[in-house]
């Protein structure tokens, strides 16, 4: 889809399954610049974003919010133009009538690396407080790995078949994001 002279309304675009029959995000959006809208299982709008590579952004959203990514609509443009992208995103949010949770109170869950620290057990919290920096790093990595396994399990339940690799360097900070 190449951008026409006028921006399409969100309602005028077709729903596309987030994952294809092979459990992957469509290669059609790899390397494409554009605006995308993510919908939950019931086709309720949960996030509107824009990206210089829609595929990579959709993959990040899938690991951050696996239960919120079932449907999408998107519009690509041929050249990067932040003004056009921001205007289209704003128009789609406005058209929706309410700010989607991912563009409002839940924005960090959609746009920032996953913070594994809230998943620390009371025992891990106590150990963390009583140890040196190296010990704290080990605890954070352990917690991040546990959260990573939980995410991979959720993705397996969704029948995701894409290669998912997390950035090992930020696990030391208790954070998870794709490499």
Structural domain range at position 103: 16-111
Burial class for 105, CB neighbours closer than 10 Å (0-12, 13-18, 19+) = exposed
Evaluate whether residue 25 is within a structural domain: yes
User: What are 77-123's pLDDT values in tens digits?
Assistant: 998 899 999 999 999 999 999 999 999 999 999 999 999 999 999 99
CA 86 to chain centroid, in Å, comes to 18
The reply to whether 68 and 89 lie within a common domain is yes
With respect to residue 2, please indicate whether it lies within any of the assigned structural domains: no
What is the rounded distance in angstroms from the CA atom of residue 83 to the CA atom of residue 47? 19
Q: Are 45 and 81 within one domain?
A: yes
Q: What is the model's pLDDT at position 179?
A: 86
160 is a domain residue: yes
Determine, yes or no, domain membership for 170. Answer: yes
Question: Would 5 be classed as within a structural domain?
Answer: no
pLDDT tens column, 47-83: 999 999 999 999 999 999 999 999 999 999 998 899 9
pTM (global) more than 0.85: yes
> Using an 8 Å Cβ cutoff, are 157 and 95 in contact?
no
| Cα separation, 45 vs 73, whole angstroms | 10
Number of domains in the chain: 2
Is residue 119 helix, strand or coil?
helix
Are residues 102 and 37 part of one domain? Answer: yes
């Amino acid at each position: 889809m190449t951008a026409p002279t006028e921006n399409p309304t969100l309602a005028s675009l077709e729903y596309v399954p987030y994952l294809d029959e092979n459990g992957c995000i469509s290669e059609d959006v790899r390397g494409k610049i554009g605006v995308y809208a993510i919908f939950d299982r019931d086709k309720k709008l949960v996030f509107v974003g824009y990206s210089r590579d829609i595929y990579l952004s959709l993959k990040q959203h899938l690991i951050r919010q696996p239960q919120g990514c079932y449907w999408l609509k998107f519009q690509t443009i041929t050249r990067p133009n932040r003004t056009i992208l921001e205007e289209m995103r704003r128009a789609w949010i406005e058209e929706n009538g309410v700010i989607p949770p991912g563009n409002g109170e839940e924005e960090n869950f959609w746009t920032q690396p996953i913070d594994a620290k809230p998943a620390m057990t009371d025992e891990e919290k106590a150990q963390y407080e009583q140890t040196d920096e190296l010990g704290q790093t080990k605890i954070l990595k352990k917690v991040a790995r546990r959260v990573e396994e939980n995410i991979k399990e959720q993705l397996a339940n969704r029948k995701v078949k894409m290669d998912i690799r997390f950035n090992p360097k930020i696990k030391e900070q208790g954070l998870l994001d794709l490499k």
